Amino acid sequence: MEGLSKKSAVVGGAFLIVLAILPLVMFFSGNIFLIDIFTRLVILAIAGTSLYLLLGVAGLPSFGHAAYLGLGAYAVGIPVHYATMGGAEWLASYNGWWQFFLAIFVSALFALITGAISLRTRGVHFIMITMAFSQMIFYALISLEEYGADDGLSVYASSEFPFVMLDNPLHLYGVCFGSLLLVLYIVHRLQHSPFGRVLQAAKQNETRVLASGVNPFKYRLLAYVMAGVIAGYAGALMANFSLFISPDMVEWSRSGELMFMVILGGSQHILGPLVGSSLFILLEFVLSRWTIYWHLPFGIILLLVVLFGRGGIMGMLRRDSQS
């Protein structure tokens, strides 16, 4: 890929090959639990890639990106809730097309409204206002007693699609992995299109972009909506994976985890979110089996990577190949 060193591209390609093959081996060997880990990893990589579009391409450090995961998840859970319990016939459905349409539409609408406001700020003010909008969704979900409030809501059935059974772990993983490949392709094309060039130019020097007669606001707003849509789609996948949704999915700490994954893998590389989410999830899995106090070594390892690995994992690989 353009902009990536040969070594970092090889590492990213190796990650994709492993993600394509290893879950199949686990499924046929009976290790279904390990497929769940890889499914969660891939879904978070999709959400991380959407954040990369904002942070890495447009230079917009959103700290409320988990809001779209929650909106997408509830867009699946609420129709299933009504279809199972009765009520709201216009909304109730097990149909996956309807549920995913709702996830995308609601996420796009929320991103359009909040983005039009947030993008008028810069720096720490942008970070804080995006976090504030996310917390508004968090407290709104807590107040909705019909949907379990802070206790959450069980999703009694997976989204129904023809020829695909999302209650089958292998089918679900296949959909998630295929979605990741599609999202990576779309974001890569956007990044290297004239649209992406404007975003990157405005990130470097907004004054010069304005002087050339181009207003970057509408470009940033469109990127903001696109990122929200992708994250909302990831939320719909997450609801089908966990079969449980709760306001905790929207909490600011979840946005922090997404931000950390992108920075850990490399916020200047499209494959950074994939590498970062992989390292994050696998370290969490391995260390939690080693000790009940796994948070301490986990935090130390991640802190060292951030402090001494400028540019994240992919940035370190790029520097090694250039030295």
Rounded CA-CA distance 48/26 in Å is 25
**How many domains does one find in the chain?**
1
In a domain, 249, yes or no: yes
State the pLDDT at residue 2: 42
In a domain, 88, yes or no: yes
Residue 71, classed as helix, strand or coil, is: helix
Buried b (16+ CB within 10 A) or exposed e, 164-196: eebeebbebbbbbbebbeebbeebbebbbeeeb
CA dihedral 208, 212, 218, 224 (to 10 degrees): -40
Residue 153 tokens read as 């809501």
72 neighbors 78 (Cβ within 8 angstroms): no
In a domain, 138, yes or no: yes
State the pLDDT at residue 102: 96
- pLDDT by residue for the chain (323 residues), tens only, comes to 444 556 667 777 888 898 999 888 888 887 788 899 999 999 999 999 999 999 999 999 999 999 999 999 999 999 999 999 888 788 889 999 999 999 999 999 999 999 999 999 988 999 999 999 999 999 999 999 989 888 999 999 999 999 899 999 999 999 999 999 999 999 999 999 999 999 999 999 898 999 888 999 999 999 999 999 999 999 999 999 999 999 999 988 899 889 988 988 888 889 889 988 988 888 888 888 888 887 788 778 777 877 777 777 777 766 655 55
State the pLDDT at residue 3: 44
In a domain, 221, yes or no: yes
State the pLDDT at residue 59: 92
In a domain, 241, yes or no: yes
In a domain, 286, yes or no: no
Rounded CA-CA distance 263/305 in Å is 10
Range of the domain at 253: 36-257
In a domain, 4, yes or no: no
- Residue 14's identity, in one-letter code, is A
Pairing outcome for strands 164-165 and 244-245: unpaired
In a domain, 228, yes or no: yes
State the pLDDT at residue 290: 83
Residue 171 tokens read as 């089918």
